[in-house]
Amino acid sequence: MPPDSFTAAAALLIIPLHDRNGCGRRPQSIFYGRLVMATRDVPVTKEGLAKIQKELDELINDRRPELAQRIHDSKELVGPQNTPEYEDARTEQAFIEGRILELANMIENAVIIKETHDHEKVSLGSKVKVKNHDGKTVSYTIVGVAETDPKAGKISNESPMGGALLGRTVGEEFEVEAPAGTLTWKIVAID
């Protein structure tokens, strides 16, 4: 399978830390192997990279120690038995550790989106105003997957709308496939 066909969810590979006979040592974490993430460029703005770094720092410095304490406390109260509180904390710990790996991979593979001053053609980082067939105007900023926030008008370059906008110019009409059918849009402005 070519590397381009990997999705973010399928990018994790688990490599066992023991040989075929089961010899070797088990890591001191919730993972029973070393996780390796497929490398793929992650387009991100400077602000987006700072936001990702802040979330990573919060998870490592605040959430991880809190969870470790919760796990320790729930284990201390009942001894060797696993309680629902203990199981919930371990599940949350698995989620947090996975998110830490994901964020670290994003930072490691981050490619800063250069601020363009080309108001002629839509590219990553462009702010685009489009009009639909009803005359309704909507503004979008084209960002990488890591920064997508539709409520704030930030759409991914890999989304149907984002992908359809890339490379287009002001005044150009284009179609986007949506669950409701094919929608026609027109580019009004590029900032």
Domains with residue ranges and CATH for the chain? 3-112 (1.10.287.180), 127-190 (3.10.50.30)
Q: Where are the beta strands (DSSP E) in the chain?
A: 12-15, 34-37, 42-44, 110-112, 127-132, 137-143, 154-156, 173-178, 181-190
Q: φ and ψ at 16, to 5 degrees?
A: -60, 150
Each residue of 103-145: pLDDT tens digit? 999 999 999 988 766 788 999 989 999 999 889 999 999 999 8
The pLDDT-based confidence of 40 (bands split at 50, 70, 90) is confident
Write down the pTM of the prediction: 0.67
Q: Tell me, what's the pLDDT at 84? A: 87
